[in-house]
Structure 1
Amino acid sequence: MPLSSSSPPVTLEAWLAHCERLHPSTIDLTLERVQAVAQRLPLRFGGPVFTVAGTNGKGSTCAMLEAVLIAAGYRVGVYTSPHLVHFEERCRIDGQPVQAQDLLPHFEAVEQARQGAALTYFEFTTLAILSLLAARALDAVVLEVGLGGRLDAVNAVDTDCAIITSIDLDHMDFLGPDREAIGREKAGIMRPGRPVVVSDPVPPESVVRHAEAIGADLWRFGRDFNYAGQQSGTGTWQQWSWAGRQKRYTGLAYPALRGTNQLLNASGVLAALEAVRDRLPVTAQAVRNGLAVVELPGRFQIVPGQPTLVLDVAHNPHAVAALAQNLDQMGFFPRTHAVFGAMADKDTAAILRRMAPLVDAWHFTDLPTPRAAAAATLAAQWRELAPGLPAPAPQAGVSCHADPVEALRAALEEADPTDRILVFGSFYTVGGVLEQGLPRLAAKHVG
């Protein structure tokens, strides 16, 4: 039921608590309710809207697109989810998280516009942030899809340029059993006659067929845009170049975001910018400056100090494979200590098997959500898998902890200064560590 007009929540925390009570399900993949409320708000944007879907690489793609556009002098709004520490992180204006008080009138607007409809937490909060973005005089808006694409609340907004990053197996209970089914859901963000950039090198046929069926302007990696890189003797990228349909960039520095897939994500960003160049022209210098300063916490984030601390929200096998490759390229560490927590619906067995060659000690953690796998469950799964895996898996230490902070403290106690500690898995795992503030946590971590 709607709130009475005399007693609306007066804080962001109260509004979020209200949103959690409205719908019996956390996820309800239908778009009709959101579309109806969106039409009543209404949501109109002055500049181009970029909608970004995919299994992995969405956050990095949004951050790089945002950074380049800001470097070009544009006013940019971004919506991403989930957040790591504070809800306000989900919405950025000109690179800065919005203030809680700025969101309050937009929660009230959604409350009035929903007219009693039972929106999920994600739907309600998405509409509130979209309302805020529509109220600002922005030159461009970047929207990250939460789950899938076709039925995600973000898809209530017609995109001017869709970007689809890598597609792999995740959220299969909601999106389907294979890449073709999942790709079909991601393809739902496309719009007829408008560009769609697909940066997955081998996209599912369902994505290509849908673009052709609706007459979208399909930009495919390897056909419409590509990159080439120059590597040093250690295998790290020194410079790279990019070519699209008409534009080219040479002698680019590696993006500030670390990781093996960031050139692929950056390539998709540059293709999207070329696709809308008539509305948002961007100079080569803006590209260089934006990619040089882009930041995104929790994506292969290396915290300086001893022992080396790595934070990464990789929580599905595809992302963990990239994480393992990135870790392998870091150089030698005597031991790697892993702090790991994940949702129960993830393929944790595949994740553990992939990370086994790199991890010498596991610190499994509970997470503050009923969706999470218990630390004891993860530990039992590891003990069952470890005997059949090569070293160091059978000898790896195992411990269970009540929360990520406790797990990290235990890892710090065990680790030598020359070791490496990896905190990875769910956003709750990495966010739980960041929320406490790394300097306060890591008394042993000498920066």
Structure 2
Amino acid sequence: MPDTLADWLTYLESLHPKTIALGLDRVAQVKQRLNLQPAFPVIVVGGTNGKGSVCAMLEAILHAAGYRVGCYTSPHLLAYNERVRIAKQQASDAELCASFAQIEQVRGDIPLTYFEFGTLAAMQCFISHQVDVAVLEVGLGGRLDAVNVFDADCAVVASVDIDHTDYLGDTREQIAFEKAGIFRRDRVAICADSDVPQTLRTRAREIGAQLWSIGSEFGFVPHQGQWDYRSRSAARNALPYPALRGAFQLHNASAVLAALDALKDRLPVSMEAVRRGLVEVQLAGRFQFVPGRPQLILDVAHNPHAARSLAQNLGDLPPARTFAVFAMLKDKDMAGVVRALDAQIDVWLVAGIDAPRGATAAELAQVLQNAQVRGEVKACLTIADALHEASNRASENDRIAAFGSFYTVAEVMRVRGLRCA
């Protein structure tokens, strides 16, 4: 068997012929062999965008309330260990290797994908550490995602929009059906998208899940510098804005408080813990401001829905010349992202991503040319070169926005010597 975490990850990448192979049969068989039966509440979080923010806020608030929280998210930016956290600490290489080894011993000839292997390992770590609650982020979709092999005591869908069309369908209704697959009978299912797709409502009704949707069963009222949360069973007033920046974070924070309402009998949370968690929450790469001049903003926006949110957030800032450090995967809607951000970008510095799915700088430049963007376009050899170009050309009153992919943000973080919280 492999000895180091790096060796294990290389091995896991080679186990299955496909990077993504949706379906629960394989992972369910290995889960049964491992006897992974969590005795603690499980919160499963899905959505096109916003699920990382929801997970981070749940983790921060529940931790502030004194609970031992297991949190599983993906993808990672700088190190695989970011995906598995216990009591807000990343799992060690040794713990992950030990979990991988146990899975390898029992899986026999069942081929697991990289993500399936990692999902089982995360739950194994949470059970061994006897966490009080687990927060699991869906990798892709929901219905056939490996995370869905564990029953959610509360399920959250942060948003529904177009992404991963090859796997989930090319309409919101088709995608919503896949995301609603994490709902469970007689359990609360939360939707933070203000335009709830009909298929999501239908699925909740068919299986007997209790659907709580924003603007109906729960919601928020913003005030100057504070906000109030309202639901049919609770109210929390004069709350601080989440430390995570962005126009949609109150939608995400409201969904988090709704989930806590749903589980209040098993996981009571005080107002003090809510306030502390909202103030202390951290999540790299989500409209993240890096201290210094010129201003550097990191955002993993990689689909039109997220790009529209980023555009709105940039537009809410004081006017400034904006340089884009831009790189994307070629199987994403590159043109849609470009159209969403065109009005906010003055100079596009594009680079390729050195990965099988990565678009080249030339391909991105062609997309920008076809879209007839208003800003200057320049192709750079690498993301590091694009960042260097932006830093040299931007004045201290300008800003640099790095976006388009987790790969883009990760490389900028490496170049700048930044770390994930």
Q: TM-score, normalization: structure 2?
A: 0.97
Structure 2 partner of 1:170: 163
The answer on 1:249 being equivalent to 2:236 is yes
- SS at 2:44 equivalent: strand
Match of 1:417 among 382, 396, 413: 396
Aligned residue type for 2:196: P
Gap regions ≥5 residues in structure 2: none
Alignment of 1:2-401 (within 5 A): 8-231=1-224, 238-333=225-320, 335-386=321-372, 393=374, 396-401=375-380
RMSD (Å), alpha carbons: 1.2
- SS at 1:108 equivalent: helix
Q: CA deviation at 1:403?
A: 2.6
Aligned residue type for 1:256: A
Q: CA deviation at 1:42?
A: 1.7
Q: CA deviation at 1:360?
A: 1.2
Aligned residue type for 1:241: D
Aligned residue type for 1:131: Q
Aligned residue type for 2:29: A
Match of 1:430 among 394, 401, 409: 409
**CA–CA distance in structure 2, aligned partners of residues 408 and 44 of structure 1:** 46
Alpha-carbon displacement from aligned partner over 1:29-68 (angstroms, at most 9, x marks no partner):
1110011111111212232100001000000000000100
Asked whether the 8 Å contact 1:367–1:402 carries over to 2, the reply is no
- SS at 1:345 equivalent: coil
- SS at 1:50 equivalent: strand
Gap regions ≥5 residues in structure 1: 1-7, 232-237, 441-447
Q: CA deviation at 1:437?
A: 3.4
Alpha-carbon displacement from aligned partner over 1:146-174 (angstroms, at most 9, x marks no partner):
00000001011111110111100000110
- SS at 2:357 equivalent: coil
**CA–CA distance in structure 1, aligned partners of residues 385 and 38 of structure 2:** 44
**CA–CA distance in structure 2, aligned partners of residues 416 and 299 of structure 1:** 24
Q: How many residues align?
A: 419
- Which moved further from structure 2: 180-189 or 399-408? 399-408
- Which moved further from structure 2: 245-254 or 289-298? 245-254
**CA–CA distance in structure 2, aligned partners of residues 112 and 435 of structure 1:** 35
Q: CA deviation at 1:397?
A: 2.4
Alpha-carbon displacement from aligned partner over 1:305-360 (angstroms, at most 9, x marks no partner):
11000000011101110100100111021x11001111111111111112111111
- SS at 2:71 equivalent: strand
**CA–CA distance in structure 2, aligned partners of residues 218 and 357 of structure 1:** 37
Aligned residue type for 2:164: H
Match of 1:407 among 386, 390, 398: 386
Asked whether the 8 Å contact 1:45–1:138 carries over to 2, the reply is no
Q: TM-score, normalization: structure 1?
A: 0.92
Q: CA, structure 1 residues 22+407, in 2 after alignment: closer, same or farther (shift >3 Å)?
A: same
Aligned residue type for 1:436: V
* Sequence identity percentage: 50
- SS at 1:226 equivalent: strand
Asked whether the 8 Å contact 1:52–1:162 carries over to 2, the reply is yes
Q: CA deviation at 1:439?
A: 6.9
**CA–CA distance in structure 2, aligned partners of residues 146 and 253 of structure 1:** 30
Q: CA deviation at 1:102?
A: 1.3
**CA–CA distance in structure 1, aligned partners of residues 39 and 397 of structure 2:** 52
- SS at 1:132 equivalent: helix
- SS at 1:163 equivalent: strand
**CA–CA distance in structure 2, aligned partners of residues 96 and 62 of structure 1:** 15
Asked whether the 8 Å contact 1:164–1:198 carries over to 2, the reply is yes
- SS at 1:243 equivalent: strand
Asked whether the 8 Å contact 1:80–1:90 carries over to 2, the reply is yes
**CA–CA distance in structure 1, aligned partners of residues 170 and 354 of structure 2:** 28
